[in-house]
Each structure stands twice: as structure tokens, then as C-alpha cells.
Amino acid sequence: MRLKKAFSIISAVNIFALLIVYQQTEITKYGYRNKQKEDFLQQLADKRNYLKYELEYSKSLRNINDRLFVKEANFNLPHEKQVVLIQMPSQVKAATSLVKAANKEQTLFSKVFFWLTPTAEAQAEGGE
Amino acid sequence: MHKKRVARRKFFIFFVFSFLLASLFLRLCYIHFFRSSFLKEVANKQHSEFIEIEPKRGAILDRNFSPLAINLSADSLYAAPKEIKDKISAARKLSQILNLEYSEIVRNFSKDKSFVWVARKLSPQQAQTIKKLKIEGLGFRKESKRSYPNGYLAANVLGFAGLDNQGLEGIELFYNQQLAGSKGWSIFLRDAHQRKLIEESVLLAKDGYSLVLNIDEVIQFIAETELERGVEKFHAKGASIIVIDPFTGRILAMANRPTYNPNTFNKALAEQRKNRSICDFFEPGSVFKIVTATAALEEEKVKETDKFNCENGEYRVANHILHDHTPHGILTFSEVISESSNIGTTKVAQILGPQLIYKYIKLFGFGDYLGIDLRGEVKGVTKPVSQWSKTSIGAVPIGQEVCVTTLQLASAISCVANGGMLMRPFIVDSIIDENKTEIRKNYPLVLRQVMSQETAGRLKDILVKVVEDGTGKAAKIDSIKVAGKTGTAQKVEPNGTYSHTKFIASFIGFAPADNPEIAIAISFDEPHPYYGGVVAGPVFKEVASQTLRYLRKRNLDDEVMYEAKRITP
């Protein structure tokens, strides 16, 4: 009886001790995993910063100036009265060609029976 | 008998074990009560590591929030000399990659230390190349490296931060406390290989604040490009330019030549690093005549139409003969300034007297600090009236025997542009935190009223004539009225005489004259040719016209979009 009691107490203590050890190993394992993730995130953050720097460097006026040899080209800010023609996006081009097609001279047939022949209505989509 | 022997043996064994147990127990008590703190310390040293957390240095941004100075993470290479097997081969490879002296690396490897720096803050390419070599005994540590993506742009204003991320010059130095932040610390658990595991406790670092400057990257670029062109074209030894908002004192651009790349500040000479706009003074010559003109108009001693005999280019003042660059006969006061007659100006000064001249010199801020937020500002040199000689009345009013900085000239012309107020020039607009919340804002400060608005208006009209009809024609801009003054000043030789070959050519002005948006001061050191109107005038024209177009372009965006919609089929 006494032996049984002693045995169960010792077992309980051992199990408890093992649980603690297991907990510590898990903590250490998660510690390593976290460290790895931290290092990886830090690498990404560093890369991001470096790319940001490269971006700023590439778009810096000084860099553009050096690369385009501005001294010879004599680039200058545009005068305020210069008109700039903006290239139309492809959807707008397609839409405007439809409008042109619709605006072509109608046949007598279509003029008389306009209610039978629907005119093409171009709708330009999208903004500027 | 036998029983007694057994009992004695039992007792002996019991005694031995009891003794051992008691010893263990005593030893335990000794360790627990007397050695615990020491052993705890040893264990902590083994298991834990205390590290300082470096704060992130604040960024420096231009007024449009474009970054001018940022931080990058960089690998710094260290060595554990005892762990390097083939020191000679390692040193040879590293010297090629890092461009360092082979002997220096070998010396480092021979030190009786467990840790030596080999090179700090390497480029990513260098670090990658060294990592590929997989040399035992070498390691990398991450450090923060200050980087300037625009290179030499505004280098003299920004300054630079050293290896330990402490500001050493310019804005980096002046605002170092705000930029630096404060260090934190962390206690880590580490494993048997000294790798960090779990953070036990931490005090986070307080990152530095960022600065938003009044400097505009585009205007700075325009100023630097045109200044560079001027220096090359006229073979000048040096030059400086300041573009300032005359109503607020905000410095929109400040550039010098020679200059340097702050990314490689250790290779720059002192001559390249100094900000000559604020720390070089020189005799200004004819640009200084605005002081005399202001005094004459404000004190109502002279009117624009008053006539002065310019003695056909030669006039005696005490024992000195004063000359004009072009001989003139009778000129009105307005023409005296627009044609920059030294004789006419001296005669005006003689009417005013030394006391009044000196009063206005001090009112304009010459001979005093203006209080710009940069280190190294110099006061210049002005002589009190008690130290004037008999010839000084023919020298000081025309910009001789007085030394000024380009910054003081920029502030002086701003005074005329804004209706007579001397504004404190300043570089930094605000200090912000990482969430862009303003921590501190710098506001324009009026130092004093130098002249009345009426006098400023009258002087402005005279300065417009300088550009329209006078010596400043090269600064004229199509369809924009410009007011300005040219200056051509002889430099002083080491023997104390004025040189006939070395000059300072300058131009100060503002535009548009009726509603000034910018004021500019430019000076060239030893250009060829040397006339202010010929050398500095065209540079002013280019900088002013491009800057005004840029400033107006912001408002034109909507207009251009409308035009584009209207004309597309």
C-alpha cells in the first residue's frame, strides 16, 4: 500500500517534470522558428529598403541628368504656353473609330428605314 | 559477537552515507546561500546576451516629401583572427574585394583579439562576394548606413552622418539630436552556439524624427545645374547660389561649387565639403549699393530724379582716385544705380554721411548672424564708423572694406522684394515622426523692418531699370519683370592690395518684380570674364525663369488636362 502510494507520487512527479522539460523544449523550438522568421522578415525589409533606395536613385533628377547627358541636350522645363498632345489610350481610339463609322453618310435605305437599322452608338469608356 | 560486528558495520555504512549526505547538504547550502549570486551571474553571461538596439535615424525630406537622406541596412565585416586558418590567402582575397591595403588586413588578422572590424558598412555586392568565399573566422553584422539617393544634390546643405550614424556636418549635424533618436536595449537567451533565441526583456529604441526641409528638389536641381554650367563656362574657382522665398525666408535651394557626394564623404576635401554660401565672406562690390540707395531714399536725402556729376569716370576721395567702369557725365540717382556708377554712389554717400550708411548696413543684417539653422554661419566683416579712414566713404558704400556672405546678400535683396522686412532665413520647415505627425514647425520670423514699403517700392523700380537698361541686361527674362543688381568686386591680394585679375562676380535679384515669388543671390569666385552682369546675370536668368515655370506648372496641370481633352479628336 505504502509502496503503491510512493510509486504513484514518484510517477506523478516524473510526469510533471517531463511536461516541464517538454514545455521548455517547445519554447526553445518556437524560439528558433521565430528567430528564423525574424531573420527572413528582416532580410525582406532590408531588401525593400534597398529597392526603395534604388527607386529613389533611379528617379532622382541628378541621375536622369547624368544618364541623358543633359549638358548637351539642354533639357529645360517647358514654357507655360506649350501645348502638349496626349496619346490616346487604345480603348478610346477604338471607340472614336466607331463614332467615325457611325457618322459616315447614311444610304437612302437607312435614311428612310432608320427605325429598322440601328445606328452605331459609340460610347467611350473610362476616364482620362 | 557476530551480531555486534554486523551492527557496527551497519552503523559504519550508515555513518558514511550520512556523512556524504550531510556534506552534499552542506555543499548545497553553501552554494545556495553564499555562491548563488556569483553563479547566477556566470549562468546569465553564458545564457543571456545584452545588446543595445540602435534607433533608426530619421529621414531628411524635401518640401514635397521626396527623400534626400535615408537609412539602409548594410553588412559590416568582422573577423575572429584566431579562427582564421589561412590568414594570408584570406587577406589577399579581401583586399581585392574591399580595395583595402593587404598589409592592413594582415595586421588586423594578427591581433590577439577575438573580434576585429575588417570593414564597416559594405555595399551589397561586396558583402555577397565575401559571403560566397565562405572563409571561416569571418562574420557579418548588420548596421544602419546613411544613404543619399540624390548624390551631390544639396550636399553642402544636408551634410553627412559618420560611420556611427552621428551627424558631422550640415543639417545632419545641426539637427542631430532630433534625427538620432535614443538607443534601446534587449536581453536575449542564447544557445550553445551563441545564437539568439528568445527575448527576455526589451526596451524599444526610440527612432529619430524626420525633417521636412524648405528645399525643393526640382529647384535645387535647376540651381545646381545652372551653377555648374556657369562654373564650367567661365572657368570659375568656385560659386554659390541661394534661391529664397522673399516673404518667408524659406530657402528653396542652396548650392555651391565645388561640391561632393555625401555617400563618399571620406574622399571629399574640406574645400568641397564646406558650405561657402554661409561660411565664406567676400567684398561684395556694387551689389552693396542697394544699402546706400535704401539709406538715401528712406532718409529722404535723395530723389530718383536728382542729378549727380559722375566726373567722367575719375573722382578724388581724400588721397585716393575713384574710378567708374564706364565714364559717365551727369546721371540721375536712378541712373547712378542702374549704371552702377561708383562716383555717383560715393557722392550720395557723402550726402548721407558715415553714420547713416553704417546704420543701414547693420539694419540689413551685415556684420551679424542671421540665425540660419546651419552650423558654420559667419558674420562677415563691417567696420564701425570710428574705424573708418578718410577714404572709407568712397569704399564702403560701393561694397569695399566690408565683407559679406551670399546668404546675407540673399536676405538683403529679399528685404527689397517683400516691402522692407528682414526675414530670418531657415532650411527646415518641420520635424515629423514616423506617422508624419508634426512634432515641431518652424515659422517665418521677421527680424526687423529695414525700410518702409514705399522705399522698397521705389528701390524696386530702380532695380528693374538695372535689368531693363543698365548693367543687368543679361538677367532679363521674356515677359517677366526682373529687379536686380550686378556686382564686380576685386579680390584682395595677400599683400593687401586689390587684384586686377581676380574678381568676385555677383548678381542679386528677384522676380517677378511686381509680385515676387523668388529672390536669388549668385556669386562666382575668379571667373573669366569677371563682370557680374556677364557671368552671374545669365545664370540668374536661367534659374529664375525655370524656377518660375516650375512653380507655375503646379497650377497649370488642370489647365493642360483641359487643353488635352479639348484638342483630342
Contact residues, chain B to chain A, C-beta under 8 Å: 66-67, 70-73, 124, 142, 147, 149-153, 189, 191, 195-198, 217-218, 221-222, 224-225, 229, 546, 549-550, 552-553, 556, 560-561, 563-565, 567-569
Contact flag B550-A83 (C-beta cutoff 8 Å): no
For the stretch B94-104, pLDDT in tens is: 888 888 888 88
Cβ neighbours for B48, distance < 8 A, ≥ 6 positions apart? B187, B188, B189, B190, B200
A123 band by pLDDT with thresholds 50, 70 and 90: very low
B2 band by pLDDT with thresholds 50, 70 and 90: confident
Contact flag A80-B546 (C-beta cutoff 8 Å): no
What class has domain B217-556?
alpha beta
Q: Is A71 on the interface with B (CB under 8 A)?
A: yes
Cell triple for B273: 565639403
Catalytic residue positions of B, numbered? 286
Write the residue in B142, B229, B550 that is nearest to A77 by C-beta.
B550
| Mean pLDDT over the full length of chain B | 91
pLDDT at residue A117, as a whole number = 42
Which helix (H) or strand (E) covers residue B323, if one does?
Answer: strand B320-323
For the stretch B208-265, pLDDT in tens is: 999 999 999 999 999 999 999 999 999 999 999 999 999 999 999 999 999 999 999 9
For the stretch B382-436, pLDDT in tens is: 999 999 999 999 999 999 999 999 999 999 999 999 999 999 999 999 999 989 9
pLDDT at residue B546, as a whole number = 94
Q: Which residues of B touch A60 (CB under 8 A)?
A: 149-151, 153, 217
Q: Which residues pair with B426 in a beta bridge?
A: B250
pLDDT at residue A94, as a whole number = 66
Q: How confident is the model over B466-474, as a mean pLDDT?
A: 94
The beta strand positions in B394-458, using DSSP E, are: 421-423, 428-432, 438-441, 446-449
Residue B486 in 3-state DSSP?
A: strand
Nearest CA in chain B to A44: B73
Residue type, B414: S
Contact flag B225-A76 (C-beta cutoff 8 Å): no
Q: Is A83 on the interface with B (CB under 8 A)?
A: yes
Residue B203: pLDDT over 80: yes
Q: Can you name the CATH fold of B51-73+137-209?
A: Penicillin-binding protein 2a (Domain 2) (3.90.1310)
CA dist B189 and B184 (Å) reads 17
Question: Of B127-131, B222-226, B479-483, B520-524, which gets the smallest average pLDDT?
Answer: B127-131
Cβ neighbours for B53, distance < 8 A, ≥ 6 positions apart? B183, B184, B185, B186, B202, B203, B204, B205
CA dist A105 and A117 (Å) reads 14
Q: What is the DSSP string of A56-103?
A: HHHH-HHHHHHHTTHHHH---PPPTT---PPPPPHHHHHHHHHHHHHT
Q: What is the largest CA-CA distance in chain A?
A: 118
DSSP code of residue B287: G
Burial class (CB in 10 A: 0-12, 13-18, 19+), A81: exposed
Instruction: Determine the Cα angle at B126 with ends B121 and B131, to 5°.
Output: 100
pLDDT at residue B72, as a whole number = 86
Q: Which residues of A touch B555 (CB under 8 A)?
A: none
Q: Which residues of A touch B191 (CB under 8 A)?
A: 28
CA dist B539 and B240 (Å) reads 11
Residue B112 in 3-state DSSP?
A: coil
CA dist B393 and B492 (Å) reads 19
Q: Which residues of B touch A85 (CB under 8 A)?
A: 564, 567-568
SS (H, E, C) B153-211: CCHHHHCEECCCCCEEEHHHHHCHHHHHCECEEEEEEECCCCCEEEEEEEECCECCCEE
Question: Of B192-206, B271-285, B307-321, B426-440, which gets the smallest average pLDDT?
Answer: B192-206
Q: Which residues of B touch A31 (CB under 8 A)?
A: 189, 197-198
Residue type, B155: A
Other C-beta atoms within 10 Å of B548: how many? 18
Residue B429 dihedral angles phi and psi, to the nearest 5°: -85, -50
Residue B23: pLDDT over 70: yes
DSSP code of residue B116: E
Q: A32-46 b/e with 16+ CB inside 10 Å = b?
A: eeebeeeeeeeeeeb
| Mean pLDDT over the full length of chain A | 72
Instruction: Determine the Cα angle at B564 with ends B563 and B567, to 5°.
Output: 85
Residue A127: pLDDT over 50: no
Q: Is A50 on the interface with B (CB under 8 A)?
A: yes
Q: Report A:98-127 residues touching B (Cβ under 8 A).
A: none
Burial class (CB in 10 A: 0-12, 13-18, 19+), B232: exposed
ipTM surpassing 0.85: no
Cβ neighbours for B72, distance < 8 A, ≥ 6 positions apart? A46, A49, A50, A53, B144, B145, B147
CA dist B402 and B159 (Å) reads 29
Q: Is A70 on the interface with B (CB under 8 A)?
A: yes
Domain with CATH 3.90.1310.10 in chain B: 51-73+137-209
Chain A closest-CA separation from residue B143 CA (Å): 11
Q: How confident is the model over B492-503, as a mean pLDDT?
A: 88
Q: Is A85 on the interface with B (CB under 8 A)?
A: yes
Contact flag A85-B564 (C-beta cutoff 8 Å): yes
pLDDT at residue A118, as a whole number = 44
Contact flag B563-A28 (C-beta cutoff 8 Å): no
A80 touches B552 (CB < 8 A): yes
Domain with CATH 3.40.710.10 in chain B: 217-556
Q: Compare B328 and B558 and report the one with higher pLDDT.
A: B328
Contact flag B221-A56 (C-beta cutoff 8 Å): no
CA B272 to chain centre: 12
DSSP code of residue B56: P
CA dist B13 and B174 (Å) reads 81
Residue A77: pLDDT over 90: no
Residue type, A36: Q
